Structures are given as C-alpha cells and as structure tokens.
Amino acid sequence: MNYKKLGNTNLEVSTICLGTMTWGEQNSEEEGFEQMDYALEKGVNFWDTAELYSIPPKEKTFGLTEKIIGNWFQKTKKRDKVILATKVAGPSRNYIRGGENSYGIKNMTIALNESLKRLKTDYIDLYQLHWPERKTNMFGRLGYEHKEDDKNWNKFEDVLENLQKFKKEGKIREVGLSNETPWGVTRCLQISKQNNLPKMMSIQNPYNLLNRTYEIGLAEISIREKVGLLAYSPLATGYLTGKYRNNQMPENSRLERDGDFWTRYDKPNTTKAVDAYFEIAKKNNIDLTQMSLKFCEIQPFVTSVIIGATKMDQLKTNIESVNINLSEEVINEINEVQNIYQNPCP
C-alpha cells in the first residue's frame, strides 16, 4: 500500500480509501465486515462514510452505514487502526433535521453527536461538509446562476468556529470539504488564515477518466495550499470497469438497481470514451479498472482514491491497483482520449 499525508497534518493515509456507501443497501452488515477486515489487512487505513449513507439516500437507511462501521469497531476493538472520515449532510431531505441548513451550531452539534453514537467512537479523524449550503454548482450541475440576495446559509466564519469548538472538545481531529467549488475552498482557506480557525485539509470531489474537471481550477489550490483531493467515483459508477460496455447490464449492478439515480455518467460520449480507454488497457495488458484507479492515484493533487465495491473480487481488484505502473506511453494515450472526448461527464 502507498501512503500520503492528509493535508499538512501528521496523519498518513492510504492512497486507497475504503468507500462504504453501499453498506446497508447493496451490502449486508456481514459483507461490510468482510470488506473492512480485508481492507485493513491489505494496509487500507483510511475509511470514508457519511451520515447520509446508505446510497441511494432513503429515510429508512439514513445512518445505517455508520451503524455498520460502529458495530465493526465494537466487535474488533480496532478503532485505533483506522483513520475515519465522515460527513455532515447539507440542507436536503426533510427527514434530515427537517431539511434545514445543517451547518449552524445547533444542527451541526446534533449531527456530529449522532454520528459519534452510531460509529461507537469518541472522535472522528476527518469531519467533512458533504456539500455547500449555498445555491451553487455541484453534483455535475452546469450553468451557475448567481443571486445576490441569497443569504440563506451560514457564514463560513460561523461554520469554521463551530468546527473549532468540536476540535477543542476532542470530537474531531481535522476538517474537510466535499462537492465544493474553487470559490468556496478559497474562502474557507482565507478565513481560516485570517481568524486562526481550522484549515480544510481535504476536498472530496468527483475525479475520473470521464470527468477531469477538477484539474481546471481546484488542482492548483490542492497543490499550493496542501488541501488534497479525496477522489470519489473514480470508476464513474462502474462505467470504467467496462461492465456496461456493449449494452450490458449486470444483474444487481447500480445501474440495474437504481438507474434513475445514477444518471451523471449517462452522456452522449460516455460509451465512446470508455471504449477508447478499454482499448488502451487491452493493448497494454492492463486491467481497465486498475488503469482507471491508478491514473487517479498518481496525480500530484490527489491524496487518496475512494473505492467502493459490492463484491469481494471487485474490492481485491481495486486495492491491487496500487501495485501497477502506468508508463509514459499509456498516460499519453489516456490524454489523447481526453483531448478527443473532453470530460464527457462533468
């Protein structure tokens, strides 16, 4: 396994992060336990979850993934072996604190304490804001429309002060962002410096061979400010495994189960780009899944690549991606495809 520093902290996190959002929906608790056992054995010490999970989000499964992780901690007594990340949900569904903004002190305190309870732990290593409270572009949305009078969100200063309070109480160690824009990241960093408030140590945004938009603005921020990317959806909901090629629809796959939810990668040039990457992998005798993950891992702005698997053979393939090498020739071929089909799934 490979490791990198989380931001400018002393935390050494594995460059493969165990994603958990299917546990409680596509995976049982027993299967989640098996994945955690195997990942830790292979050196994966960094796990990511969220109060919102399982995915797709439903009221009946809200918080269930955290409960599964907490039960594993209780059973194995290995909490100290894991660098644990979770997230507080932004304003969304009525069953989450009435759909209100979550980053005020009252709702944030409730969210954090309930996560700690479900996770059966006294502290969280990385506490992340799942998405912005303000109306902005996220989850692949284009066409930003600015409304000057939109003040229905907590000020960055107040949110950072809340996080500072939680740090002083020992409930969280570090903080991070998710689904955030360059402006949002920059404002957080600026206010942190000016007011001696907690610095964001990571940004969890999508990044994969079908969506390299992170490179346009956020990559520079990540490198210059030491706020590394935790790349989610590195396999583009499975498209970059090749399992949906030639109109295949594997039974119990995410698209087969919840196709209406996973529309982000159903775009006009998706198939053409995936086929081109498949040919590169085939030509160079590389597994397409591992090529896709390794490309993410080797980027200088990436701290860790968040993998998600529903089957053990998928998990093993994903983790073993750290052991392959991509030649300069392969990387050039990948970039040629990107030039032809530029970010088909932003």
Does residue 308 contact residue 19 with C-beta atoms inside 8 Å?
yes
φ, ψ of residue 204 in degrees (nearest 5): -100, 100
- Beta strand 3-5 with 12-14 is antiparallel
What is the distance between the alpha carbons of residues 55 and 4, in angstroms, rounded to a whole number? 28
Asked if 163 contacts 172 with a C-beta cutoff of 8 angstroms, the reply is: yes
Beta-carbon contacts of residue 140 (< 8 Å; ≥ 6 apart): 206, 211, 264, 345, 346
Question: Residue 216, Cβ neighbours under 10 Å: how many?
Answer: 11
Strand, helix or coil for residue 275? helix
Angle at 263 between CA 300 and CA 270, to 5 degrees: 60
Tell me how crowded residue 277 is: count the other CB atoms within 10 A of its CB.
24
Catalytic residue among 3, 53, 103, 277: 53
Tell me the CB-side half-sphere exposure of residue 61, using CA atoms within 13 A. 17
In 197-213, which positions are buried (b, 16+ CB within 10 angstroms) versus exposed (e)?
Answer: bbbbbbbbbbbbbbbbb
Identify whether 53 is a catalytic site residue: yes
**Is 220 in a helix, a strand, or coil?**
helix
Separation in Å, CA 28 to CA 56, 141, 252, 317: 15, 32, 14, 20
Report H helices in the chain: 29-41, 64-76, 105-119, 156-168, 182-195, 218-225, 254-258, 270-283, 288-297, 312-319, 328-340
Task: Write out the catalytic residue numbers.
Answer: 53
